[in-house]
Amino acid sequence: MNVDVQKKVKIIQKSMDSIRKMDKTVHTISFIQLAHEMEMPLNELTDFFLDVEDIFLNEQKRVTRKIEAHLEKGIKNCKTPNDAKDLMESSVLKMVDLLPDYSDLVYSAIFYLPKCLAERDRTKKYYRQKIRIIIKKGWPGKIDSVLDRQANLVLLSLYGFLDYCVKANKRERKEVLKDFNNMINLHLQDRLFF
């Protein structure tokens, strides 16, 4: 990681800690207030970010970039159905593992900040596309309409799981993760699905 990126990540972490301490709704926090709370010169913040929304957007993208890289590499290396099944499980695990301590804060803000909301929509479409590819490779023989419907169900399940994980502790996440993977497997093996 180069020095600038390291600094950027540190500022994001510090900002999240400060925003939590301020106990205010994100849209009521100004950049000046945040710099004051962080005991940091304003220009140090503005060197990296445009505004509070930009901090959240960067954090959101930082996490999704890693998941996207994992998915792209995984799909490229998928040779057998089992590789695809493993990729499905490892991607869910990756998503959970990448959640930072302040993920509840980021998750909540994403629903309000327009750029974050747009990024959320983009990511959702991207995940749907990749989930469809993984299902096709991992559970071969399904027709297109089944692939579409099952991709939607896996996608919505995944977002429900993330919604749970951002507020759950690590132990709780792991417990549900096992059941979640089993349920997805069971659903994708369902031969009666038509």
Which DSSP category does 2 fall into?
-
* Per-residue tokens: 122: 């983009």
68 and 126 Cβ atoms separated by less than 8 Å? yes
Residue 156 three-state SS: helix
Binding other proteins by CB under 8 A: which of 49, 56, 139, 180? 180
User: Is 69 among the residues that bind other proteins (CB under 8 A)?
Assistant: no
Binding other proteins by CB under 8 A: which of 6, 20, 30, 112? 112
30 and 85 Cβ atoms separated by less than 8 Å? no
Residues with Cβ within 8 Å of 111's Cβ and at least 6 positions away in sequence, in order, are: 117, 120
Q: Binding marks (x or -) toward other proteins, 14..53, rule CB under 8 A?
A: -----------xxxx-------------------------
User: Is 187 among the residues that bind other proteins (CB under 8 A)?
Assistant: yes
Between 78 and 135, name the residue whose CB sits nearer to other proteins: 135
Angstrom distance (rounded) from CA 130 to CA 67: 11
Q: Binding marks (x or -) toward other proteins, 147..176, rule CB under 8 A?
A: --x--xx-xxxxxxx-xx--x-------xx
Binding other proteins by CB under 8 A: which of 49, 56, 107, 139? 107
Residue for token pair 């997805």? 184
Cα dihedral 165, 170, 175, 177, rounded to 10, equals 50
Residues with Cβ within 8 Å of 70's Cβ and at least 6 positions away in sequence, in order, are: 90, 91, 94
Q: Which one of the spans 55-63, 94-102, 132-140, 178-186 is the region binding other proteins (CB under 8 A)?
A: 178-186
Q: Which one of the spans 13-21, 38-46, 60-68, 109-117 is the region binding other proteins (CB under 8 A)?
A: 109-117
* Per-residue tokens: 173: 């996440």
Interface with other proteins (CB under 8 A): 25-28, 107-109, 111-112, 114, 117, 149, 152-153, 155-161, 163-164, 167, 175-176, 179-180, 182-183, 186-187, 190, 193
